[in-house]
Chain A
Amino acid sequence: MFGRNVIIGQYIPLDSAVHRLDPRSKLLVVALGIVTLFLVQSWISFLFLAAFCGILAAVARLSFRYFLKSLRPLWILLLLTLVLHVFFTQDGVVLFGFLRVSFEGFIKGLFIVVRLALLVVVTTILTLTTSPIELTDGMEGLLSPLKKWGFPAHELAMMMTIALRFIPTLLEEADRIMKAQMARGVDFESGGLLNRIRGLVPLLVPLFVSAFRRAEDLAIAMESRCYRGGVGRTRLKVLRFAPRDYLFLCSAFSTFVLSLGIPWIVR
């Protein structure tokens, strides 16, 4: 069922140190973390990165369940990666005919699976602890240096914010219209494909009508409050790096550098 509280992404509104971090520093760290994940070549580096993620998750009080949930849609991909590596690595032991299994392939496959899983975990920590609005604010903040070259950072962020703001509203509206049409005998659940497509007309037409009306109302409301794009606009919530952000950035950078350098150190 759709509802007014449908959350886009998976934000869990808690109050923790990780939640309170500046979204810009979180975005920056996640971007660098992803790069690091693709660069590292050894298991021991993964250990570092996984430990870092674990600490963050613990500080943010996120239960393990959430990560399993976000990995669930990917498990087929992960399994396939593993299987392909096991069977298609060249130096395998021949089982019969052309089919060979390779232990080395298994390890290699597992490596890639862990890399993908960590990738998901890192981005999940970001989306679980940062509201979509904060995310767009953060993106605008990070992209605003590009404004000098005419990049529409503010407009882009505003568009994203509005879209995010209205997704739950539209879902709720869709739910309401669907129910209203069901009360008039529409059956959205059964019938052939053609019937179902035809059944969408009574849902989509009112939905579009109301979406356009909302868009117009919003435009008028923005204009009557003198919205003229990002030039000279101040914010209610100014993003400001706090000491904890510097601490977070420093510890993240050192973890990344360490996990890149550790194979040489232990060797």
Chain B
Amino acid sequence: MFILVENVSFTYLPNTPFAVQALCNVSFAVERGESVAILGRTGCGKSTLVQHLNGLLIPQEGRVVVDGVDTRVRGAALREVRRKVGLVFQYPEDQMFEESVFREVAFAPRNMGVEGEELENRVRWAMTVVGLDYDALKDKSPFELSGGQMRRVAIASILSMKPEVLVLDEPTAGLDPQGRTMLLGKLWELRKQWGLTIILVSHNVEDVARIAERVVVLDKGKIVFDGSVREFFADEERMRQCGIIPSPLLQAAFLLRRKGFAIHPPLAPFDFYLEIKEKVLAGKRPCSVEM
């Protein structure tokens, strides 16, 4: 087991009148190479959960184990956990502070003690992987970039640590459709070409369908579903109960089904996604996945 979350509970501001229980006895495991989406309505504890995965938050009850190391460790071992599990925060462009894109992307590996040529190689690699032109952008100020470019710089600044798991908290929030498609395509490539484990937090059903194979749904701090994407998207009732609004395509499919058309559970649009995924997996042209 690569990442193990075991009976984790977490309360913000415990023992005060403002206590909020954000996680309640959460357990799940992620294997190497999996691609998992964490879904759930707003405030259900998704961000809290992913911050447990790299030891930014320590479980008040239960434990989180990453590659055999309990996240309660300190010092160098903790830094290694944070390197292995690269966490991209919600609106990651808010964390930028360096004067050039190069320095921004180089920041994390520098903190890990990488220097010289190796550093440059990593920055070049990370920027290329997310589809940024290294030579054109490396000396620009990150604040001059467009929203989509900034987001990609932010993701590159995590990738440059060479993490083994990439955890993304709502990576497509606030991006235009093009930026979104581009980013999701890149993530999919990363998974395919570099064998990265991906954990994706999202509100967006389509994003999930494009990237993930497995879905973990949280509601009020508890896991209410853990299973395959196909299984989850087949059941409209459950989806709505979990507070997740089906995408327009899915809604249309559900409607047709209710009207008696024989559109059966593995619904058409998702088959379309899955087909593309399979094609990509089979190595047929890493395409930008588009509707």
Q: How far is the CA of A177 from the CA of B90 in the complex (A)?
A: 10
**CB contact list, A1-30 vs B, under 8 A:** 1, 3, 5, 7, 12-13
Q: How far is the CA of A210 from the CA of B87 in the complex (A)?
A: 21
Q: Does A206 contact B (CB under 8 A)?
A: yes
Contact B97 A202 (CB under 8 A): yes
Contact B111 A184 (CB under 8 A): yes
Contact A181 B95 (CB under 8 A): yes
Instruction: Give which listed residue, B56, B79, B94, B97, contacts A185 with CB less than 8 A.
Output: B79
Residues of A near B75 (CB, < 8 A) are: 190
Instruction: Give which listed residue, B51, B97, B158, contacts A206 with CB less than 8 A.
Output: B97
Contact A5 B111 (CB under 8 A): no
- How many A residues touch the partner, as a band? 20 to 34
Q: How far is the CA of A177 from the CA of B95 in the complex (A)?
A: 6
Query: Given that A179-B56, A185-B79, A185-B161 are contacting pairs, would A202 and B12 also be in contact in the complex, using a CB cutoff of 8 Å?
Result: no
Residues of A near B111 (CB, < 8 A) are: 184-187
Q: Say whether chain A's binding surface is mostly helix, strand, loop, or mixed.
A: helix
The size of the chain B interface, using a CB distance under 8 A, is: 29
Q: Does A221 contact B (CB under 8 A)?
A: no
Q: Does B13 contact A (CB under 8 A)?
A: yes
Contact B158 A187 (CB under 8 A): no
Q: Mark B27-54, 1 if CB is under 8 A from A, else 0.
A: 0000000000000000000000001001
User: Within the complex, what minimum Cβ distance (angstroms) separates B153 from chain A?
Assistant: 13
Q: Which residue on A lies nearest to B20, using beta carbons? A: A5
Residues of B near A5 (CB, < 8 A) are: 12-13, 18, 20
Contact A182 B82 (CB under 8 A): yes
Q: How far is the CA of A201 from the CA of B97 in the complex (A)?
A: 8
B residues with CB within 8 A of A: 12-13, 17-18, 20, 51, 54, 56, 75, 79, 82-83, 86-87, 89, 92, 94-97, 107-109, 111-112, 143, 157-158, 161
26 A–B contact pairs at CB < 8 A? A3-B18, A5-B12, A5-B13, A5-B18, A173-B94, A177-B94, A179-B51, A180-B94, A182-B82, A183-B56, A183-B158, A184-B95, A184-B111, A184-B157, A184-B158, A185-B82, A185-B83, A185-B109, A185-B112, A190-B75, A201-B97, A205-B97, A206-B95, A206-B96, A209-B97, A210-B94
A-B pairs, 5 with minimum CB distance: A185-B111, A205-B97, A184-B108, A180-B95, A5-B18
Can you add 8 more A-B contacts, CB < 8 Å, to A183-B82, A184-B108, A209-B97? A12-B17, A13-B17, A182-B82, A183-B158, A185-B108, A185-B111, A205-B97, A209-B143
A residues with CB within 8 A of B: 1, 3, 5, 7, 12-13, 173, 176-177, 179-187, 190, 201-202, 205-206, 209-210
